[in-house]
Chains A and B, each alone.
Chain A
């Protein structure tokens, strides 16, 4: 089974469980506070996934290992290459 099929299966299973529980189709008498937590659950999972993604991106941006010397060397090499190519007639 492909990864896509696995993900869709998992989503379909969880989605149908949630729908069955929220609409009381299984005949379970859940306490009202549990029902209050249950019905926004898909939105909650989406928002938490989004927050996790945002936080991970931010953290990796903040802790990225810069190499200042290599960056400067690369920039000077780019200038050199541009000058050389301009000399040979290439227009930028």
Chain B
């Protein structure tokens, strides 16, 4: 079995993914079938955010991946230029 930080990080990821999944499932799938006057609607944002928030998060992720790739490529270029 993995030890120490590995286990903590791994179980943390599992917990985060479960939380996100349950909240999002409740938001998208369950809420339309619950009466509009019920108190649970207070804990969820307006429905449009159910698409815009993951979309924005996805675009941010792509941005970071692109920046990271650019950074690594520039660093490699500089290293090869130094050894030439």
Contact = CB atoms under 8 A, between A and B. Distances in A.
Interface of A: 32-34, 36-37, 40-41, 43-44, 46-48, 51-52, 54-55, 57-66
A80 B14 CA distance: 39
A2 to B, nearest CB: 26
Given A37-B32, A40-B28, A40-B51, A47 B12 contact: no
B47 interface: yes
Interface string B44-57: 00010011001100
Contacts, number: 87
How would you classify the secondary structure of chain B's contact residues: helix, strand, loop or mixed? helix
Q: Which of B7, B28, B29, B50 has most A Cβ within 10 Å?
A: B28
B10 A61 contact: yes
Nearest to B33: A33
Contact of A52 (B9, B12, B17): B17
* Chain B: interface size category: 20 to 34
A43 B54 contact: yes
6 contacts: A36-B47, A37-B28, A37-B32, A48-B21, A48-B24, A62-B6
A89 B11 CA distance: 46
Contacts of A47: 20-21, 24, 54
B2 interface: yes
Nearest to B20: A51
B13 A57 contact: yes
A61 B9 contact: yes
Given A61-B2, A61-B13, 20 more contacts: A33-B33, A37-B33, A43-B28, A43-B51, A43-B54, A43-B55, A44-B24, A44-B28, A44-B29, A47-B24, A48-B21, A51-B24, A54-B17, A57-B13, A58-B10, A58-B12, A60-B10, A62-B10, A65-B1, A65-B2
